[in-house]
Chain A
Amino acid sequence: MSDIAIPVGGQGGEHSAHSHPKFLQHHFHTAQQQFEASKLGMWLFLVTEILLFSGLFLGYFILQSKHPQAFIEAHHHLDRNLGLINTLVLLVSSFTMVMAVQSAALSKTKATLAFLYTTFTLGGVFMVIKYFEYSHKIHDGLLPGSLFSYAGAAVPGEYLFFSMYFMMTGVHGIHIIAGMGVIAYLIYRTHKGDYSSEYYTPVDLTGLYWHLVDLIWIYLFPLLYLVS
């Protein structure tokens, strides 16, 4: 994403200084064109993310349809309240993210920073709660596949649920961490005053990404915590 942010130097691309904003890359005619291209590129990237997760969801659906009883039994080991709190945390973080984008678009740098910090913090809260959930599972031996060592399993095949649980939340968690990394970078650039109503593409694109990660969780929450 930062590819879009910085003009390309070198490569014989000497630009004369006249009326050429520094964020505009040499192969675009207008800022508008560059913005639209970046945005389309981001949506295409989101498509790849959705298809990536679709493999995990399909795996979940198939294993769940084969072993419904095991999945119901196994999901009782998850803490529904923590899942709910995490859902709310992510939803709020999505809200603060979209507010950050809007503030950037309106050149309200202070508000942008405040919202970005909040979003980053909420991402952190999500991961901390996730950490406590994980360590609880690890302690109980509720682990994927061959690592599963929980003695009180009522139905054989519960390890399948935990295979899916750890893979799905794991891949999702990696996306949260990546998103937090990008938001940290945005905070740094906003402090430098790089974003304004003229140019805030990176904030906008990161917002899209962050919402997608939230959107995935919207599906993960009922699948993993609320199976009935």
Chain B
Amino acid sequence: MALEKQTMESIPKHGEETHTHDHTRYYIGTIIALFVLTAITVFVAGIDFGSNFVNLMIAMAIATVKASLVVLFFMHLRWEKGMNAIVFLSSIFFVGVFMVFTFLDINTRVHVEPAGPSEPGASAGYEPIPMPMYVGKTPAAEGEAAAAPAEGEQVATPAEGGAAQN
């Protein structure tokens, strides 16, 4: 129809675009690098860098290098339009916001968790109050489980069902 004709004069083909070049050598390089980095991850996991947090951060850093390789080469971001890169990086930014602000709360809280019947110092150490179904199973849990019968009852119905099956 008339409205189509005006616009259909020239249709550029995909063939003119950059990403139809043969990139095989990049891909092979990427996969080799990923294998090497995987080996490094496994190797580094055996080393204790001092704290749980540092270990985690090192593992995450290596994973991020690997992820960057995937994004840049396999996902073509290296050859892409800038907008797609902005879109992708924005997700990283907002994931960061989500995590940083949540941890901002979690890490600066004054802990008012109930001390329970055990020694007062123990409560500060994030020891989990065990599930009701633990009762009688792990000796360590017994004492504390008895401390919270009130909450236990609320949650217990399905949980106890699970325990009964076992």
Q: Note whether A and B contact each other (Cβ less than 8 A).
A: yes
From DSSP, what is the main secondary structure of chain B's interface residues?
Answer: helix
- Decide if A18 is an interface residue (CB 8 Å cutoff): yes
**Interface contact A70-B128, CB-CB below 8 Å:** yes
> In the complex, A144 Cα to B56 Cα: how many Å?
23
- Decide if B106 is an interface residue (CB 8 Å cutoff): yes
Q: Interface extent on B, as a size class?
A: 35 or more
Residue ID in chain A nearest B160 by CB atoms: A146
A41 CB → nearest B CB, Å: 10
Known: A16-B1, A39-B84. A211 touches B75 (CB 8 A): yes
B75: which A residues are within 8 A, CB to CB? Answer: 207-208, 211-212
A16: which B residues are within 8 A, CB to CB? Answer: 1, 4-5
A50: which B residues are within 8 A, CB to CB? Answer: 91-92, 95
A57 CB → nearest B CB, Å: 8
A106: which B residues are within 8 A, CB to CB? Answer: 20, 22
Would you list which residues of chain A between 93 and 122 have a CB under 8 Å from chain B? 94-95, 97-99, 102, 105-106
**Interface contact A87-B38, CB-CB below 8 Å:** yes
> In the complex, A215 Cα to B35 Cα: how many Å?
14
- Decide if B12 is an interface residue (CB 8 Å cutoff): yes
Q: Chain A 42-71, CB within 8 Å of chain B: the 1/0 string? A: 011011001100110110011011111010
Question: Which of the residues A43, A62, A91, A102 comes within 8 Å of B84, measured between beta carbons?
Answer: A43
A208: which B residues are within 8 A, CB to CB? Answer: 75
**Interface contact A160-B128, CB-CB below 8 Å:** yes
The residues of B with any CB-CB pair to A shorter than 8 Å are 1, 4-5, 7-8, 10-15, 17, 19-20, 22-24, 27-28, 30-31, 34-35, 38, 41-42, 45-48, 52-53, 55-56, 59-60, 62-63, 66-67, 70-71, 73-75, 80-81, 83-84, 87-88, 90-92, 94-95, 98-99, 102-103, 106, 126-128, 130-131, 133-134, 137-138, 140-141, 158-159, 161-163, 165-166
Q: Identify the 9 closest CB pairs spanning chains A and B, nearest first.
A: A226-B45, A157-B128, A222-B59, A47-B91, A146-B162, A149-B166, A54-B95, A156-B130, A95-B31
